[in-house]
Amino acid sequence: MLSPAVTASSQLVSLDAKNRLGGSPRFLFGMNTAELSNWMVALAQHRWRGKQIADAIYRQRIVDVEGITTLPKDLRQQIASQGWSVGRPELVQVFTSVDGTERYLVQGQSPDGLTVETVWMPEGDGGETGDQIGEPDPTGDVSTEAGREQGKRWDRATICVSSQVGCAVNCQFCLTAKLGLQRNLSPGEIAGQVVSVLDRHGVEVGKERLNLVFMGMGEPFLNYDNFMAAVRLLVEEVGLSPQRMTVSTSGIVPGIERFANEPPEIRPKLAISLNAPNDEIRSEVMPINRKWPIESVVDAVRGIRLRPRERITFEYVLLGGVTDQPEHTEQVARLMRRTGLPVKVNLIAWNPGPGIAYSTPAPEAVEAFRKALAKEDVPVYLRRPRGRDIYAACGQLKRTVEKQGTGTRN
C-alpha cells in the first residue's frame, strides 16, 4: 500500500515536519523492549507496559505518546509531563528521481539539527546482489507481479541507510568524504531512518520484499556499537530479517573482527569496498588501505561463519583510467580466488560529484570489465546507478540541495 504522499507528486516536497523533537530531550525511539520494561517497572507499572510501548513505536509506527492508546490515559499523561516524546527521526525533505528513487533528508534526535540522508529504491538494486545484467541472481531473488496486482508501484524495494553524519575515511572518489565526520548517529537515529521510510511507503513488514543496505553516509564500523544496536532494534523490535540486510565497510579490520562474533540471528551480510585491484592503487584511492591493506581485511573476513549460500560481496568502483584497465580484471580475479571465500563482485561505475576529479568509464568499458571477470569465473554483477540525478547514488550523499541534470525539485 502506498501512502498518498508518494502518489501525489514526483517533485521535491518539503514535508510538513512540525518539530516534534524541540524542547524535549527524552526520546522513546531508540530504546528496546528490555529498556522500556525496566523503565516502566521504575515507574511502578507492569513490566509488559514496556512491550506495549515497543509495539506501538516500532510496529504500529505511532509517533506521539498520546497516540499509544494501549497505555492508560493517565500513564500517557505522566510520561509526557516528564518530558518524554517518541522522537522518531523525521523525513523533512524528499527529492524524487526520474527513476522512482527517493532521497530524504532526515532530521535526527540531536539539537544540532544536522540532517542525514536515506534513500528509497523501489524495485531496485538490492545492493547485496547488484542488478543483474543478463544473469540470474544466485540468491533466487526474483521480482514478482504481486505488488502490481495490489496496486503498488514496486515489487521489492531497498532502503539505503546512513550510519554517521559525514565520514572520516576520506576515500578520494566519494562525495560524503568531503563533509568529514560531523558526528555519529545514535541507534534510534539509524533505525529511525528505516521506520520513517517504511511508514511513508506503507510497507507491511514480513509481507513485502524489502532489503536494507547500510551504504549511506558514513562508515558503519567506525560507529560500531550504535550501528549494531540499531540492527538489533530493526531485527528484534521492527521485525526485519538480518539476511535481507547488508552492511558495507571500507575495511575497518577491528570492526570486521567484532562483526565476525555477532550471532547469526542478528548479523547482516557483509560487503567490502575493495575498489582497486591491488594495494598500490587501493592506497591511492582509499588512504585507509595504508592502515589495513587488502590481505588484513580478507583475513578478518575469514573469521565470519557464513550462513548456507551466503557470500561476501566485494564492491568495486570503476574509476576511468584508474581501476578499470584490462589488466585489473585478472588481478581482481586472482585476489578473489585467493580469499578462499564464497564471494561475488559488485561493479559500480563511478558516480560523479562536484570537485572530484575522476571520470566515469564508458558503458562499453564497464561491460568489458564485467565480461572479463565473468570469464575468470568470478560471480560479478553490475550495480545500476539509482537516482544519480538527485545525488542519491552511491557516494553522492552529501546533503546536496542543488539539482543535477534531469533531477526535479521545487
State the residues that interact with ligand SF4 by CB under 6 A: 167, 169-171, 174, 176-177, 218-219, 250, 273, 395
- Options 117, 128, 237, 315, the catalytic residue: 117
Residue 284 falls in the annotated catalytic set: no
Nearer to ligand SF4 among residue 86 and residue 165 (C-beta)? 165
Considering only the C-alpha atoms of the chain, give the largest distance between any 2 of them, rounded to a whole number of Å: 71
Please identify which residue in 68, 105, 228, 317 interacts with ligand SAH, judged by CB under 6 A.
Answer: 317
Task: Kindly state the smallest distance separating residue 174's Cβ from ligand SF4, in Å.
Answer: 3
Nearer to ligand SAH among residue 275 and residue 400 (C-beta)? 275
- Considering CB distances under 5 to 8 angstroms, the limit depending on partner class, which of ligand SAH, ligand SF4, none binds residue 21? none
Cβ distance 187 to 230 under 8 Å? yes
Cβ distance 168 to 179 under 8 Å? no
Count of residues engaged in binding ligand SAH, rule: CB under 6 A: 17
Cβ distance 249 to 273 under 8 Å? yes
Q: Which amino acid is residue 255, in one-letter code?
A: G
Task: Kindly state the smallest distance separating residue 10's Cβ from ligand SF4, in Å.
Answer: 28
Task: Kindly state the smallest distance separating residue 313's Cβ from ligand SF4, in Å.
Answer: 14
Please identify which residue in 250, 289, 313, 339 interacts with ligand SAH, judged by CB under 6 A.
Answer: 250
Nearer to ligand SF4 among residue 52 and residue 400 (C-beta)? 400
Please report how many Cα atoms fall inside a 13 Å half-sphere around the Cα of residue 47, on the Cβ side: 2
**CA distances (Å), origin 328, targets 321, 349, 394:** 11, 15, 22
Task: Kindly state the smallest distance separating residue 313's Cβ from ligand SAH, in Å.
Answer: 9
Distance CA 170, CA 175 (A): 9
Please identify which residue in 129, 226, 248, 323 interacts with ligand SAH, judged by CB under 6 A.
Answer: 248
Distance CA 42, CA 156 (A): 42
330-352 b/e (C-beta count within 10 Å ≥ 16 → b): eebbebbeebebebbbbbbbbbb
250-261 b/e (C-beta count within 10 Å ≥ 16 → b): bbbbebbebbee
- Options 160, 167, 171, 394, the catalytic residue: 394
Task: Kindly state the smallest distance separating residue 218's Cβ from ligand SF4, in Å.
Answer: 6
- Considering CB distances under 5 to 8 angstroms, the limit depending on partner class, which of ligand SF4, ligand SAH, none binds residue 40? none
Q: Residue 348, interface with ligand SAH (CB under 6 A)?
A: yes
Q: Which amino acid is residue 369, in one-letter code?
A: F
Q: Residue 351, interface with ligand SAH (CB under 6 A)?
A: yes
Coil, helix or strand for 118?
A: strand
- Considering CB distances under 5 to 8 angstroms, the limit depending on partner class, which of ligand SF4, ligand SAH, none binds residue 394? ligand SAH
Distance CA 371, CA 381 (A): 10
**How many Å is the Cα radius of gyration of the chain?**
21
Nearer to ligand SF4 among residue 104 and residue 221 (C-beta)? 221
Binding to ligand SAH (CB under 6 A): which residues in 173-202?
173-174
User: DSSP character for 135?
Assistant: S
Nearer to ligand SAH among residue 50 and residue 353 (C-beta)? 353
Cβ distance 40 to 78 under 8 Å? no
Residue 117 falls in the annotated catalytic set: yes
Using alpha carbons only, give the angle 9, 244, 366 rounded to the nearest 5 degrees. Answer: 75
- Considering CB distances under 5 to 8 angstroms, the limit depending on partner class, which of ligand SF4, ligand SAH, none binds residue 372? none
* Residues with catalytic roles: 117, 394
Q: Which positions lie near ligand SAH, rule CB under 6 A?
A: 173-174, 215, 219, 248-250, 273, 275, 315, 317, 348, 350-351, 353, 394-395
